[in-house]
Structure 1
Amino acid sequence: MNGERVLRVEFGGWFMCRLATDPDPTDEPRGVSGSTFALAGEPDLDRVIVLNAPPPGTVRSYAPEVGVRVTRATVPGADVSEELAGGRVDLLDNPRFENRNFVLTVAGQEPIVPFRLRIGGADGRPRLERSMVMTPREPQADVHRVPQSVLQEYGGRSFRTDTALVASATGINDPLAHRAERRAHLAADLQQPDVPPVQRAALSKRIRELDIGLKNPADERVVNMTAIEEFDFPLHGRPVLHTALPGGARPQPGAPWRVTFWMGGWDPDVLCGFMRGELAVPLA
């Protein structure tokens, strides 16, 4: 987009995704042999990526507040954050990471399907909405029918550890110490009188999983707290714009938008991670 007038919308915040992990099958509803589980009293795992307003009964104690929001917005020569900052960022239609136990892609390079991004809209703010279309000739094609080269184009570009980058977003500089602190809180909760049996079972399971990471800092329960998966792809779906953009700007007709973001800092104890990125909209 060099040389073009572009609206850039930056966003960030915690998301939730209640998914099973290898070697469990992708559709395992409770978690058996991976590092994530549905606890006693919780609904089944559903793999849905939730950027705001988690379903009832899914938020665990000591989890961060789930909510991905606009943090800054600019057009060439101007900061227009006042009109967009704080607006919700949502992925609609129950999006999921589509890896399927290495059947579709390697770990860390899976696409998010469907990917229908909506930004803003509350309190009279501008609202932008557009979808990823991996196969324009067959936009509703099942993910299993999409060529692997296309899945890779729209999937994660890299999966790597970046302790400093994650810490700058989450504030967690020492994941191992963070695990120890979490365990201490849960152990104290477990010692409280009259803890209901279901809650007691859930707390005990969380403590056992944290102990695995504390005994082996190289375990994914710790290492994944420093890892990120990076995405960068165009949005070709029909653009939807409710109310005018800041300054009366208009999207350039027919031009794809581009979304660039990372998801990481994964906390398997509370099934949450951090998301940070930018939407670029070419302007007429």
Structure 2
Amino acid sequence: MSAPVIAFSGSHIDRADHIRNDPQGLAALKTWQARLLRLDGLDPALTAENMLEWGSLADAAPDSELVFLGLDGDRGCFAEVRTSYPSGSPHAGPASWHAMAVLEAGELATYGGARSLVSWHARHRFCAVCGSPTALAKGGWQRTCVSETCKAEHFPRVDPVTIMLVEHAGQILLGRQPRFPVGRYSALAGFVEPGETIEEAVAREVFEEAGVRVRDVTYIASQPWPFPSSLMLGCHAHADDPAITVDITELEDARWFSREDAIDALEAVAHGENGRAFGAPPPTAIAHLLLRWWVERG
């Protein structure tokens, strides 16, 4: 695959794990030089030059919690978790899609990590074991129950999701959901369930959504997706029987497309248009990368 760029990967910030467990080291970073990532709820605040907007720790509300994102050189980088739940949807909205289109890759990755962390903290103020309040720990990479009889430790959640191209006789299986823009089709996807391998999740999801049995599942690439906090696991599989039975509770439609269809759709989406057969996912989605991988492997 030629020079793949995976959106939300490649942050320039050093995660500096060794500092998270060092209260004195963390405190020493909270100086006038420290940077605070500005957020509008969960959406990014951008400068006129379409870069992430940073302020100082003095801009944070007095009762906010500060999440340590990492180091930029010798400067600490933080995000603010306010006492009120952040406004806006946990899913991607217009501001996030705009950021995906204009932010440099490393900055987009920094925003994605911060968004996932802030959203997780906002949703986990109380212990899932006993219901007591939780307090930020390890610089924001843990929350700990404050109850002396519980003290349960909670860690930022990441939800694995399989997203897969299924191939049969030189064609690929794509589906569309009702919420998609007109004409768009994408790779099938679904959450990995407890007790499943990635391969089992791929096979189950494809059969549930399209009634197609698959084999020979292989892993291709992954993508962090901070809406609210998924890890997309890109895969490829083969099918022996092309018959489709669409689960209308999951998909509006599913069909097979040729390599020529995929090439045309990828060329069209670069100009903001749909191809003759379908509209491809945008370049920021791992489904786009999977399509490119399939086309380029010949």
- TM-score range for the pair, normalised by the shorter chain length: under 0.3
Whose relative contact order is higher, 1 or 2, with alpha carbons under 8 Å and at least 6 apart?
A: 1
TM-score by length of 1: 0.23
